[in-house]
Every structure is written in structure tokens, then in C-alpha cells.
Amino acid sequence: MIKGGREEGRIGVLVVEDEPLLLLAAVDLLTEAGFAAVGIGSADEALQMLRGSDQFSGIVTDIDLPGEANGFGVAWCAHNLGLAIIVVSGGMTPSPELLPPGSVFMAKPVDDNDLISTLRQSLHQIDGC
């Protein structure tokens, strides 16, 4: 089921990216596309936020992140919570078994329109429609 975000009627999406400019750009892009986007700069912070909140329906996470965990750990946590998952990286293309079922991998640089479209499709799939 699609969960609400911080703002009524907007779908909550957590963006996890350690590069500050990329994080700001992704949050702005998703906010302009109508999502309630929240940005976090490390995997450890993302895991804390995911475990302590039900405001997110989707996540966009980089793989290479600072902290004890990485983007794979964040993606698997999001999977266990039933979220739509997009994993991005400019440094590697993961083998399918490293990614949670139903998640989508996108290589950086990610086209803005492709990211929005893929996120909407992933959210549609978890909603069962």
C-alpha cells in the first residue's frame, strides 16, 4: 500500500546519496515531480530513518555510501518494509542476486525523466495495481 509522505497527498521517497550536490539535485527533482522527498547522506542514517518511520513508500539509494552499511543493506531493509527500490551507482553494475527482488538498478548518470518514470512504475507495482 502506498504510504503518505510529510505532505498530505504526496508519496514519501527517501533519497540516500553521499555526494551533496547529487543529493540536493535528486531531492529537488523528486519534489518538483510531486513526491515528498527526503535526503540522507549515509547508509547508517538511512537505516535509522527507515526503521523509525512509516512515511516512505519508495527509496532511491546509491551503493557506495559512508558508514558501516552500504546501499545494498539499505535496499534490503527497504525491501523488508515493502518499499519500491531504485539502486543507483556510477562505480559498479551489481549482479542481480545482490539486489532485492523487485528492485531496479540504474547506472549513473541517471536521466531525470527515466528516474521519475521508473520510480512511478516501481511504486505502482508495490501498490498491486
Confidence (pLDDT) at 8: 61
Secondary structure (DSSP) of 41-67: SSHHHHHHHHHT----SEEEEESS-SS
Give bridge partners of residue 121 from the DSSP assignment: none
**3-state DSSP assignment of residue 129:** coil
Read off the DSSP letter of residue 3.
P
Domains of the chain (ranges, CATH numbers): 12-126 (3.40.50.2300)
Max Cα-Cα span within the chain: 37
Q: Can you tell me which residue has the cell 523487485? A: 102
- pLDDT tens-digit readout, 97-111: 999 999 999 999 999
C-alpha cell at 3: 504510504
Count of residues making up the chain: 129
Q: Can you tell me which residue has the cell 551489481? A: 94
Confidence (pLDDT) at 1: 44
pTM: 0.92
d(CA 32, CA 77): 27
Dihedral sign for Cα 103, 112, 93, 20, please.
Answer: negative
Dihedral sign for Cα 62, 63, 65, 70, please.
Answer: positive
- pLDDT tens-digit readout, 48-66: 999 988 999 999 999 999 9
